[in-house]
Structure 1
Amino acid sequence: MTNVSETENNKNGNKPGILKIMQSVLAGAIGVQSNRRREEDFSSHSPWPYIIAGVLFTAIFVAGLIVVVQLVIANQ
Structure 2
Amino acid sequence: MTTAPDSGKPEKPGLLQVVNSVLAAAFGVQSQKNRARDFQAGSAKVYIAVGVVATVVFVLTVYGIVKLVLASAS
Does 2:24 align with 1:24? no
Aligned equivalents of 1:36 and 1:20: distance in 2?
12
Deviates more, 1:32-41 or 1:64-73: 32-41
Count of aligned pairs:
67
Q: Which residue of 2 aligns with 1:54?
A: 51
State the Cα distance separating 1:45 from its structure 2 match: 4.2
Q: 3-state DSSP class of the match of 1:75?
A: helix
Aligned equivalents of 1:23 and 1:33: distance in 2?
9
User: Structure 1 segments of 4 or more deviating over 4 A?
Assistant: none
Aligned equivalents of 1:61 and 1:18: distance in 2?
19
Alignment counterpart, residue 39 of structure 1, candidates 24, 36, 39? 36
Structure 2: runs of 5 or more not aligned: none
Aligned equivalents of 1:18 and 1:68: distance in 2?
28
Does 2:70 align with 1:73? yes
Structure number with greater CO (CA < 8 Å, separation at least 6) is: 1
For the aligned residue pairs, the C-alpha RMSD in angstroms reads 1.5
Once the two structures are aligned, what percentage of the paired residues are identical? 42
Structure (1/2) with the larger helix percentage: 1
Shift in CA distance, 33/45, structure 1 to aligned 2, threshold 3 Å:
closer
Q: 3-state DSSP class of the match of 1:32?
A: coil
